[in-house]
């Protein structure tokens, strides 16, 4: 009887990326960043600014 051979195939690494955004100068990212880190985010992008003041098409 032939022996079965097992082949280990590595799965690609998955990355979790977070995005924290506040819109006013009075707000801070701290709570959002804490939650994103707790969720296991490898990288966190931060943005500060209001969409209301941006030029729109």
Task: Write out the chain's pLDDT in tens, 57 residues.
Answer: 567 777 777 877 889 999 999 998 889 999 999 999 999 999 999 998 876 666 656
Alpha carbon distance, N-terminus to C-terminus of the chain = 71
Is 23 known to be catalytic? yes
Indicate the pTM of the whole model: 0.62
- Max CA-CA distance within the chain? 74
Output the pLDDT for position 31.
Answer: 94
Output the pLDDT for position 55.
Answer: 66
Annotated catalytic residue, options 21, 23, 27, 43: 23
Asked whether 33 and 46 are in contact (CB, 8 A), the reply is yes
Output the pLDDT for position 44.
Answer: 96
Output the pLDDT for position 41.
Answer: 96
């Amino acid at each position: 009887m032939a022996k079965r051979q097992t082949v280990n195939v590595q799965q690609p690494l998955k990355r979790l990326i977070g995005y924290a955004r506040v819109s006013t100068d009075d707000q801070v990212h701290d709570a959002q960043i804490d939650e994103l880190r707790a969720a296991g985010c490898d990288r966190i992008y931060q943005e500060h600014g209001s969409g209301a003041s941006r030029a729109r098409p």
